[in-house]
Amino acid sequence: MKLNTPHTLKEIADLIKCEFVGDPNHVVTGINEIHVVVPGDLVFVDHPKYYQKALNSAATTILIDQKVECPDGKGLIISKAPFDDFNRLTRHFSPFKPQAQAIGEETVIDESAMIYPNVFIGHRVKIGKNVTLHAGVCIMDDCILDDNVIVGPNTVIGHYAFYYKKKPTGFDRMHTCGGVHLHKNVEIGALCTIDAGVTGMTTIGEGTKIDNHVQIGHDTVVGKHCLMAAHVGVAGCVRIMDRVTLWGQVGCASDITIGEGAIVLAQSGVGKDLEGGKSYFGSPCVEAKEKFREMVALKKLPQILDQLK
């Protein structure tokens, strides 16, 4: 999330009443979650395991729960509860805005778009030429739909990111202020859900086609000309390269990469990075030809055991 106006380190620290380390005039131009940070961004970290990842990231301001050595050119904000203060900042700069009408404020819809009855479109949405939104579609705040996008009935684009912190009182949700970007010629089936990025954009690349009942998590980036069959579930922060095919009921764990041209066969579970240009099967999935050899060998096991008697 880019700030409309850059703020200084001192201004940001004062907003959440925290101590800071660094130049008071150090500039903060954005607030982002660790997976999408760029120079100028503020990021939070609240566990020693991830200190170095945050401190060495592209982010130039770190909201942290301990005093540590401040890297050159960066600023620190010391907080007792970085997750909570990060939420306070994102809510301050991108507050939730209720909506009672079918189309939100600051939304731009090309006159050629076909909008069916009972479609809901949130604030600050951009809809391009020849877009088709079927009945019951919800396009939430800050989403972008490029030319020729088709969204099937009762699909939700840009719902809250599934991102929670466990506390003794229950689970606190990270405030969502990102969106979804559907590039040109993307087709989304019926009853799908594509969650917004926490502070950035969940992205579906040009020409990708997605079947019915597919879930894609926050901040995932899907490349160009991919195919996803029904009941595919993709977690948050996944990187799916161009021309990947995921067949029915494939499940992908978070923060993995699926290489260009990979094919994952039905009902497979992807728990680690997959190299491109190969076919995979199984849960956890391996190369399909290896898995099929295992299955053939397993069928022969009773015969082998009988021979050993």
Which active-site residues does the annotation give? 218
- 3-state DSSP of the chain: CEEEEEEEHHHHHHHCCCEEECCCCCEEEEECCHHHCCCCEEEEECCHHHHHHHHCCCCCEEEECCCCCCCCCCEEEECCCHHHHHHHHHHHHCCCCCCCCCECCCCEECCCCEECCCCEECCCCEECCCCEECCCCEECCCCEECCCCEECCCCEEEECCCCEEEECCEEEECCCCCEEEECCCCEECCCCEEECCCCCEEEECCCCEECCCCEECCCCEECCCCEECCCCEECCCCEECCCCEECCCCEECCCCEECCCCEECCCCEECCCECCCCEEEECCEEEHHHHHHHHHHHHHHHHHHHHHC
Cα 285 from chain centre: 23
Distance CA 48, CA 29 (A): 25
Q: How many CA atoms lie within 13 A of 21 on its CB side?
A: 15
Question: Is residue 182 within 8 Å of 157, Cβ to Cβ?
Answer: yes
Distance CA 134, CA 183 (A): 18
